[in-house]
A and B are shown apart, each in its own frame.
Chain A
Amino acid sequence: MYTQALDLPQQNPEGRPPSLAENPAWQAEFDAKIDAGGFIEPKDWMPEAYRKTLVRQISQHAHSEIVGMLPEGNWISRAPTLKRKAILLAKVQDEGGHGLYLYAAAETLGVSRDKLTDALLSGRAKYSSIFNYPTLSWADVGVIGWLVDGAAIMNQIPLCKCSYGPYARAMVRICKEESFHQRQGFDALLQLMQGTEAQREMVQDAVNRWWWPSIMMFGPHDSDSTHTGQNTRWGIKRISNDDLRQKFIDATVKQAEVLGVTLPDPELKWNEQRGHYDFGRIDWEEFWNVVNGHGQCNVDRLAARRKAWDDGAWVREAAMAHADKAARRAQAAA
């Protein structure tokens, strides 16, 4: 994972329409490139608003990957078998890698890594709301892989073709790895479902808690998302929030059947006319509550990231001091 459509008014105080006055000729060239389905590369001219939107989106995405290591990391030391522990370690390490690919992509837009980290640690930056829910049982780890990474894959595949080259390339790399995340989750759940009654109940309980937050990951309804139009024009957003959500729900119903769990939505049923599943009303109040910092784990997550940053400070400083000293010595010897 993990990206969430966060193109929301609250998150975007500095967002503004692209300034066409910046340079009409360059703007025309930029528009033509986008219209032709081409890519924008780091040193190319781009409208300032495009650059800002990308910095915000890519860094939020990177923060989500990094914070996303925490809920599952919580279970590494308690994984039920050595095999599951090795798998979970690899998965969590992948998420760290995803964060790093994405920070590197954001940095090509002229923003420093330290500044991005500071935005997260200070609480100014957003990350996906899904990670502010707790992982209460081992089944949560499987359900996160299945539903949360599954939703992330739906969100992320269209980004592999987004107009900004470094972001698109990072997404290609990420998407290749996400499939493992989803499949290992489903596999862990299948095994639990073949176990005892208590284990099956544990899976159902985890599904009950994660289903709605998972489908909220696609962001607000299209009618309520303000920046979709501009982001579509810029080739950053290719498929709308509601379309992606529908696609995810349609794909997941069958998987739930195979697993033998019930998705906790009594209104979920096939609509012959639409050719899609209908589903119940999403509790947006809860969504906004979590996005705006009042979820169950918002405080813990940021505290954990701050502690990691502070505890690692001496390592970063010592390594840099050592490198500087070695460079000075090499220079003196030359």
Chain B
Amino acid sequence: MERKEWPLWEVFVRSRNGLDHKHCGSVHAPDARLALQVARDVYTRRQEGVSIWVVQADHIVASDPDAKPELFDPAEDKIYRHPTFYKLPDEVNHM
């Protein structure tokens, strides 16, 4: 019998307050409520988190790896965007 597979959800966990949510894997669940429940059981059995986000995997829009050069290379030669580009006199170089 053809069966509909439970959708895939991506799981993000904030390990403690003050830190960002970080992607940690995915789970299958029929809806958002169960996705949270399953994510808790699968990814936080040892207090690895204080908050969980789940996002249905279909809803994530990702950049194309083949577009990496045009997306990210333009930043490569803009070294003046980094503080280390500026050589200041020794007395004030810790600025």
Q: In the complex, A316→B31 CA distance in Å?
A: 12
A107 to chain B, nearest CB (A): 7
Question: Of A43, A170, A323, A327, which one neighbours B25 at CB under 8 angstroms?
Answer: A170
Decide yes or no whether A93 CB sits under 8 A from chain B: yes
Which stretch (B2-10, B73-81, B84-92) binds chain A?
B2-10
B42 near A97 with CB under 8 A, answer: yes
B16 to chain A, nearest CB (A): 17
Q: In the complex, A319→B8 CA distance in Å?
A: 14
B90 to chain A, nearest CB (A): 37
Interface residues of A in 295-330 (CB under 8 A from B): 316-317, 319-320, 322-323, 326-327
Question: Of B26, B30, B41, B65, which one neighbours A43 at CB under 8 angstroms?
Answer: B65
A43 near B42 with CB under 8 A, answer: no
Decide yes or no whether A269 CB sits under 8 A from chain B: no
B45 near A93 with CB under 8 A, answer: yes
B65 near A114 with CB under 8 A, answer: no
B49 to chain A, nearest CB (A): 13
Q: How large is the interface on B (under 10, 10 to 19, 20 to 34, 35 or more residues)?
A: 20 to 34
B30 near A322 with CB under 8 A, answer: yes
Please, which residues of chain B bring their CB within 8 A of the CB of A90?
45
B71 to chain A, nearest CB (A): 13
Decide yes or no whether B27 CB sits under 8 A from chain A: yes
Please, which residues of chain A bring their CB within 8 A of the CB of B34?
319, 323
A320 near B42 with CB under 8 A, answer: no
Encode B19-32 as 1/0 by CB contact (under 8 A) with A: 00000111110110
Question: Of A94, A100, A326, A327, which one neighbours B27 at CB under 8 angstroms?
Answer: A100
Decide yes or no whether B58 CB sits under 8 A from chain A: no
Instruction: Tell me what chain A mostly uses at the interface: helix, strand, loop, or mixed.
Output: helix
Question: Of A101, A113, A317, A326, which one neighbours B42 at CB under 8 angstroms?
Answer: A101
A319 near B45 with CB under 8 A, answer: no
Q: In the complex, A319→B30 CA distance in Å?
A: 6
Q: In the complex, A44→B64 CA distance in Å?
A: 9
A104 near B30 with CB under 8 A, answer: no
Q: In the complex, A241→B89 CA distance in Å?
A: 58
User: Which of A43, A90, A97, A323 has the most B CB atoms < 10 Å from its CB?
Assistant: A323
Q: 6 closest A-B pairs (Cβ-Cβ)?
A: A323-B30, A323-B31, A319-B30, A104-B26, A43-B65, A320-B30
A-B contact pairs, 10 of them (CB 8 A): A41-B65, A93-B45, A104-B26, A104-B27, A107-B8, A173-B25, A319-B34, A320-B4, A320-B6, A320-B30
Given contacts A41-B65, A320-B30, 18 further A-B contacts (CB under 8 A): A43-B62, A43-B64, A43-B65, A44-B65, A93-B45, A97-B41, A112-B5, A113-B5, A114-B3, A169-B25, A170-B25, A173-B25, A316-B30, A319-B6, A319-B34, A322-B30, A323-B31, A323-B34
Query: Residues of B at under 8 Å CB distance from A?
Result: 3-6, 8, 24-28, 30-31, 34, 41-43, 45-46, 62, 64-66
Query: Residues of A at under 8 Å CB distance from B?
Result: 41, 43-45, 90, 93-94, 97, 100-101, 104-105, 107, 112-114, 169-170, 173, 177, 316-317, 319-320, 322-323, 326-327
